[in-house]
Amino acid sequence: MPEQFHSVLRAAIEDSGLTLDRLRHRLAQRGIQVSVTSLSYWQQGRSRPERADSLRAVHAIENILGMPRHSLAALLGPPRPRGRWTKRDRDYDGILAPSDALAEAVTPMIGPSDSKLRVFSQEDSVLVGAGRAIQSVHTRFVVEATADGPDRHVAVYCAEPGTDSADITVKAVANCRLGRVRRHPGAAVIAAELLFDRRLRFGETQFFDYAITISAPAASFDYRRGFRYPADVYVLRVQFDVLPARVHGFTQVKPHGTVTVEDELIVTSGQWVHRAERAVKPGVIGIGWEWD
């Protein structure tokens, strides 16, 4: 099996003894700005460097880690094609990875309701278990109809690479019922319809809860929520059974915007961290962490 960029990068970083933060610092000394989150995604295979500044960082990493020149860059291959995407598919590109698998799973389920609901408020409560992996996510929504007729919401979840989509379960918890469920055969991606009891009229609101559980999760390094449309209020809470070495927030504005890493988050009683945002723009809001 050919070597993959992310696995070679991860092994080289581990062999060097550098933390991701130290590697980021060494890159910054060379005038190259790459966030810890981006480095983490590269070594996990959740994203890959493609832009000119990112490729410059790859060449610098080769030098910093004492690797032969082009040994990492050669594993990237040509840029991923994007011309085949429809406009609707591109809504996922740059929000969550793997974006192609996400579009393949979700697009067949999207109907007229998709663009007729505005997120009034949303809350994700994430549990990271003793095995350092996300075990469950409980989501609470309040949505508002921006036109007559919406009667469902399509929920999506992208688990860590290496997780089998068959191990991801969706449960309708309150004020909705489960409709169609699609699992991607080659990626840890699931999409599920959450059906309302009736069609909403313009201006009406609907609250509903659902839960995701992962029975055989892979190690986790962050939780990210992707927003295709603006939202009024978003609250993200993460509880750890075992505290990581460092916890921080991050934000990425769509499309393919720079990942902005915020300050470290304060751990409160019960080993919770959280962030709350207003006037959310399309893109990504998340919490990342590093293990010892």
Mean pLDDT across 113-123: 86
For 27-76, how does the pLDDT look when each residue is reduced to its tens digit (9 = 90+)? 888 778 888 888 888 888 877 787 666 778 888 898 898 888 778 887 87
Which stretches does DSSP call E strand in 110-202?
Answer: 117-128, 134-145, 152-158, 168-174, 177-183, 189-195
Domain ranges of the chain: 5-75, 92-290
Beta bridge partners of 141: 122, 208
Neighbours of 143 (CB within 10 A): 23
Question: Residue 259: its pLDDT value, please?
Answer: 67
Question: Residue 82: its pLDDT value, please?
Answer: 40
- Least confidently predicted of 78-87, 114-123, 145-154, 186-195: 78-87
The predicted model scores a pTM of 0.69
Q: At what angle do helices 52-64 and 20-29 cross, to 10 degrees?
A: 110
Question: Residue 211: its pLDDT value, please?
Answer: 97
Identify the CATH number of the domain defined by range 92-290: 2.60.40
- What's the chain's average pLDDT? 83
**CATH label, 5-75, candidates 1.10.260, 3.90.1690, 2.40.10, 1.10.3470:** 1.10.260
Are 120 and 144 within 8 A, CB to CB?
yes
Question: Residue 81: its pLDDT value, please?
Answer: 40
Fold match flag (5-75 vs 92-290): no
Q: Which long-range contacts (CB under 8 A, 24 or more apart) does 81-85 make?
A: none
